[in-house]
Structure 1
Amino acid sequence: MNYWLIKSEPNTYSWDDLVKLGKDHWDGVRNYQARNNMKAMKPGDLALFYHSVKEKSVVGIAECASEFYQDPTTDDDRWVVVDFVPKEKLKKPVTLDDIKAVPELSEMVLVKNSRLSVQPVKKEEFDKIIAMSEA
């Protein structure tokens, strides 16, 4: 299993939107590195759901529910989507400032390249953020 972080502006698409839909495709990715990360996802992989812009916090865990396929929002075959289902809302959000304050998380892609919308997360980083949400 692999671990990821997926980012969305909550006023555009929030954790609650995914919960309401129950399953949805992650679309609109127009960055090659983020797209390649989506192509590497497999069903069962887990992703930290991150609200960007004003909130800047991890709020939930989503599960990848499909292999990648053509993004239905464009005819451009370079872009793909994967399906996600909500798995669990975090007990409390973990902010970017919280993450930056933890030395073990200093090498996270989120800290090093905060603009990347779909990024890999190491298992240890994933576990640490979940533990922080429960503290």
Structure 2
Amino acid sequence: MAYWLFKTEPDTFSIDTLREQQRACWEGVRNYQARNMMRDQVRCGDLVLIYHSSCKQVGVAGIAEVVREAYPDHFAFDPASDVYDPKSTPENPRWVMVDVAFVSKMKRIIPLSVMKAMPELAQMPLVQRGNRLSIMPVTEAEWQAILSQC
């Protein structure tokens, strides 16, 4: 089992949305490095920190579990979709998605400012300057350190 952090804008999709739906596809990733991690490394049973970004309360909001491994992101084929990619086709899909299931919501959002102040997270990509990936690996030690803030 591995650990991940998936970023989302809560106005679009939040931990509350996942809690209501119980299971959802994690679609719309349009960065090749993040796509490659999702395609090549994210596996069923992996646990995910759901991170709210581009909002008033930026931080870890909950936990999900990967329940379906990478498969073609069909939203890329739909011209009406915000994440349409005319170069991606069903015969040659450029983008993938995974399915995640709700595990829990944090009692409080764990703010980025708190995580940046934690020495045990100093090497975590999230707290590194300039890292903007929407999907990133989390070590077990980092996972435990974040959960200790709940």
Confirm or deny a common fold (TM above 0.5): yes
Unaligned segments of structure 1, at least 5 residues = none
Per-residue CA deviations over 1:15-35 (Å, capped at 9, x if unaligned) read: 111111111100000001110
**1:53 deviation in Å?**
1.1
The RMSD of aligned alpha carbons is: 0.9
Percentage of pairs with the same residue: 45
Larger radius of gyration between Structure 1 and Structure 2: 2
Q: Distance in 1 between matches of 2:94 and 2:125?
A: 23
Unaligned segments of structure 2, at least 5 residues = 78-87
Which residue of 1 is the match for residue 101 of structure 2? 85
Q: Distance in 2 between matches of 1:109 and 1:37?
A: 14
Q: Distance in 1 between matches of 2:11 and 2:26?
A: 15
Q: Distance in 1 between matches of 2:120 and 2:19?
A: 30
The residue type equivalent to 1:111 in the other structure is: V
Q: How many residues align?
A: 133
Per-residue CA deviations over 1:34-92 (Å, capped at 9, x if unaligned) read: 10111111110000000001221101000000110000101311100000001011122
Q: Distance in 1 between matches of 2:3 and 2:98?
A: 14
Which residue of 2 is the match for residue 2 of structure 1? 2
**What is the TM-score normalised by the length of structure 1?**
0.95
**What is the TM-score normalised by the length of structure 2?**
0.86
Q: Distance in 2 between matches of 1:127 and 1:78?
A: 34
The answer as to 2:111 corresponding to 1:95 is yes
Q: Distance in 2 between matches of 1:16 and 1:37?
A: 25
The residue type equivalent to 1:16 in the other structure is: D
